[in-house]
């Protein structure tokens, strides 16, 4: 009955009121005319019932003569009304299309994090790459745009492009200027960059203030750029030149699991398809997360013509089933791995011309882990040149 | 029931096919005491809030109760809804 009523709600029906004592007679006449009548209700004097709009049109003369239609309802009737109001309908249609087009386009580009000159340069770059405002959102690939800007401007250390409403926002972070190099004729001192025991001091110019065997700490002066003039009692500032070798000690503590969990693919996969509209995804086929452990990859499928004009595309996601396997790592492999990691770390911390004097490496293990405890003794240049007085450029930056 | 109709009804029984395929007999179904579906009817005789009478080939079916509403009526079937208390079959005079 629900389907029946729903069908007539779409096709249209007429509610009729009959103020006649012989309502049974009328119902029988309608039955003989093959008219289906439903929802017959007894009212004070007569009855109220519904018939389909098609039957009403076919028998309108007879019905209007003896009965009173109370109302006409249904989707098709509403649609017929719209047909008559053609101008209004076209207007609404144009409005919807315009709204859709206006909201799916980018009307403004905002560059955040740089000055106006660089902003203009970025906008010029966009124009060179056929991105002229207004542009459809579907034509903007933010990741590609980020790469493009990053590759074309060396002074940006970070670029992010995203859409906010109908605005394209390009967020950039400029690199901080590297500290200017100390010129060879500038008064300078050499200080220690690390805690160390002095091994050798070779001072070409300047006054060495540490001896072999002295313990120095980070920031301590090694070769002073202020020296006393031999001919007078005055102090003069000179550029310091020299190499100070010091013994430094690096301690390492590392651990490695004895049993490691590894994801292994089972070559089974299931796909899921989404309809992507303006960045929102609606699932159409397939199940989300069909496996307990999986590797998920997705790709975008552009629908010919539609994807060009609108921001509608199909997103295909593939779930590759994986099983977690536990692999036992043997002692030798774990020790080698920890050693390699340790030396990698050491390389990062030391200078290029460093030399290892002594290395003490101890291995141990418990139920779950292998451990490495090591101390490496290194001889390296620990000197770092610094200006005796900060430059005017630095002063302005500080203020 | 006419003799010919009686014969058709018996034949339908023997052939184990639905009775209303061959005969003019009505088919009455009830859903609890809330709904009555009568097929093969000849029209409504009385429609009141407390009583509905339906004509069939040989008999009149009178349904008594309250809050009666005819859910659907067409050339073939009539569906009556309400609180049914009594159904009376009376032979046509």
Domain extents in chain A: 2-79, 105-174, 188-245, 253-258+329-382, 259-328
Q: Given an 8 Å threshold on Cβ–Cβ distance, is A36 in contact with B72? A: yes
Report yes or no: A249 and A199 within 8 Å, Cβ to Cβ.
Answer: no
* Exposure of A247 in the CB half-sphere (CA atoms within 13 A): 12
Nearest CB to B47; choose among A24, A31, A38 = A24
Q: CATH class for domain A2-79?
A: alpha beta
Q: CA torsion angle for A239, A241, A245, A251 (degrees, to 10)? A: 50
**Which spans in A129-261 are helix H?**
142-152
Cα distances (Å, whole numbers) of residue A378 to A190, A247, A278, A373, B60 = 20, 6, 59, 16, 116
Report yes or no: A166 and A105 within 8 Å, Cβ to Cβ.
Answer: yes
Pick the CATH number of A105-174 from 3.10.20.600, 3.10.20.310, 1.10.3470.10, 3.40.50.720: 3.10.20.310
Cα-to-chain-centroid distance, residue A226: 54
Burial (CB < 10 A; 0-12, 13-18, 19+), residue A316, is: middle
Q: Work out the number of other CB atoms within 10 angstroms of the CB of residue A18.
A: 20
Interface-testing mutation among B35, B43, B48, with chain A (most A C-beta atoms within 10 A): B43
The per-residue pLDDT for A391 is 52
Cα angle at B24 between B22 and B27, to 5 degrees?
95
A177 phi, psi to nearest 5 deg: -60, 135
Cβ neighbours for A225, distance < 8 A, ≥ 6 positions apart = A187, A188, A189, A206, A237, A238, A239, A240, A388
Whether chain A has a CB inside 8 Å of the CB on B69: the answer is yes
B-chain residues near A36 (CB < 8 A): 72-74
The per-residue pLDDT for B1 is 60
Report the C-alpha gap between A123 and A393 in whole angstroms. Answer: 31
Q: Work out the number of other CB atoms within 10 angstroms of the CB of residue A86.
A: 9
Over 90: is that where the pLDDT of B92 sits? no
Per the listing, tokens 């509608």 go with A312
Per the listing, tokens 């076919």 go with A58
Here the ipTM equals 0.85
Nearest CB to B48; choose among A32, A38, A42 = A42
Burial (CB < 10 A; 0-12, 13-18, 19+), residue A43, is: exposed
- Distance between B57 CA and the closest CA of chain A, angstroms: 15
A119 phi, psi to nearest 5 deg: -60, -45
The per-residue pLDDT for A373 is 93
pLDDT band at B60 (very low <50, low <70, confident <90, very high): very high
Query: Inter-axis angle of helices A2-11 and A75-84, to 10 degrees?
Result: 10
B-chain residues near A34 (CB < 8 A): 74-75
Burial (CB < 10 A; 0-12, 13-18, 19+), residue B4, is: exposed
Closest residue by Cα to residue A337 from A380, A369, A301, A291: A369
pLDDT averages per 10-residue partition of chain A, 399 residues: 85 88 86 91 86 90 84 83 78 91 86 85 87 84 88 86 88 80 82 90 87 89 84 81 90 90 88 85 85 88 79 88 89 91 90 86 89 92 82 46
Whether chain A has a CB inside 8 Å of the CB on B72: the answer is yes
Cα-to-chain-centroid distance, residue A107: 22
Report the C-alpha gap between B91 and B93 in whole angstroms. Answer: 6
Whether chain A has a CB inside 8 Å of the CB on B28: the answer is no
Cβ neighbours for A380, distance < 8 A, ≥ 6 positions apart = A245, A246, A248, A350, A351, A353, A354, A355
Per the listing, tokens 């536990």 go with A326
Pick B92 or A86 by higher pLDDT.
A86
Q: Given an 8 Å threshold on Cβ–Cβ distance, is A27 in contact with B70? A: yes
Over 60: is that where the pLDDT of B47 sits? yes
Q: Work out the number of other CB atoms within 10 angstroms of the CB of residue A180.
A: 10
Q: Given an 8 Å threshold on Cβ–Cβ distance, is B70 in contact with A23? A: no
Percent of chain B clearing pLDDT 70 (strictly above): 97
Cβ neighbours for A39, distance < 8 A, ≥ 6 positions apart = A48, A49, A50, B69, B70, B71
Report the C-alpha gap between A172 and A151 in whole angstroms. Answer: 13
Report the C-alpha gap between A188 and A388 in whole angstroms. Answer: 5
Report yes or no: A197 and A246 within 8 Å, Cβ to Cβ.
Answer: yes
The per-residue pLDDT for A399 is 38
């Amino acid at each position: 009955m629900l389907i029946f009523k729903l069908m007539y709600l779409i096709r249209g029906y007429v509610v009729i009121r009959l103020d006649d004592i012989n309502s049974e007679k009328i119902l029988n006449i309608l039955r003989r005319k093959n008219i289906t009548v439903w929802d017959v209700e007894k009212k004070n004097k007569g009855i109220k019932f519904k018939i389909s709009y098609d039957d009403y049109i076919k028998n309108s003369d007879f019905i209007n003569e003896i009965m009173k239609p109370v109302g006409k309802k249904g989707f098709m009737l509403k649609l017929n009304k719209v047909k008559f109001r053609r101008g209004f309908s076209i207007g609404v249609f144009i409005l919807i299309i315009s709204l859709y087009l206006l909201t799916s386009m980018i009307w403004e580009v905002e560059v955040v994090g740089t000055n106006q000159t660089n902003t203009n340069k970025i906008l010029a770059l966009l124009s060179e790459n056929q991105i002229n405002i207004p542009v459809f959102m579907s034509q903007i690939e933010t990741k590609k745009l980020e790469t493009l800007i990053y590759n074309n401007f060396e002074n940006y250390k970070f670029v992010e492009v995203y859409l906010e409403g109908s605005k394209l926002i390009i967020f950039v972070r400029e690199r901080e200027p590297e500290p200017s190099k100390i010129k060879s004729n500038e008064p300078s001192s050499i200080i220690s960059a690390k805690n160390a025991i002095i091994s050798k001091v070779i001072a070409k110019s300047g006054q060495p203030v540490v001896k072999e065997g002295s313990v120095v700490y980070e920031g301590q002066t090694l070769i002073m750029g202020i020296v006393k003039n031999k001919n007078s009692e005055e102090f003069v500032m000179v550029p310091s030149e020299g190499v100070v070798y010091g013994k430094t000690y690096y301690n390492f503590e590392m651990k490695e699991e004895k049993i490691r969990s590894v994801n292994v693919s089972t070559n089974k996969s299931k796909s899921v398809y989404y309809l992507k509209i303006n960045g929102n995804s609606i699932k159409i086929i397939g199940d989300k997360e069909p496996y307990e452990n999986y590797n998920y990859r997705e790709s975008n499928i552009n629908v010919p013509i539609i994807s060009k004009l609108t921001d509608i595309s199909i997103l295909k996601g593939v779930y590759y089933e994986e099983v977690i396997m536990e692999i036992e790592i043997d002692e030798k492999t774990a020790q080698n791995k920890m050693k390699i990691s340790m030396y990698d770390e050491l390389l990062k911390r030391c200078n290029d011309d460093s030399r290892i004097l002594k290395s003490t490496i101890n291995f141990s293990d418990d139920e779950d882990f292998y451990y490495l405890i090591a101390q490496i003794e290194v001889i390296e240049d620990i000197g770092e040149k610094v200006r005796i007085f900060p430059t005017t450029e630095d002063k302005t930056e500080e203020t | 029931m006419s003799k010919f109709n009686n014969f058709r009804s018996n034949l339908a029984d023997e052939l184990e096919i639905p009775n209303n395929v061959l005969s003019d007999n009505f088919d009455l179904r009830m859903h609890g005491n809330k709904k009555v579906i009568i097929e093969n009817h000849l029209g409504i005789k009385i429609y009141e809030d407390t009583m509905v009478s339906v004509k069939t080939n040989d008999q009149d079916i009178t349904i008594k109760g309250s809050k009666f509403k005819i859910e659907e009526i067409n050339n073939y079937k009539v569906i009556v809804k309400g609180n049914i208390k009594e159904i009376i079959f009376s032979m046509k005079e």
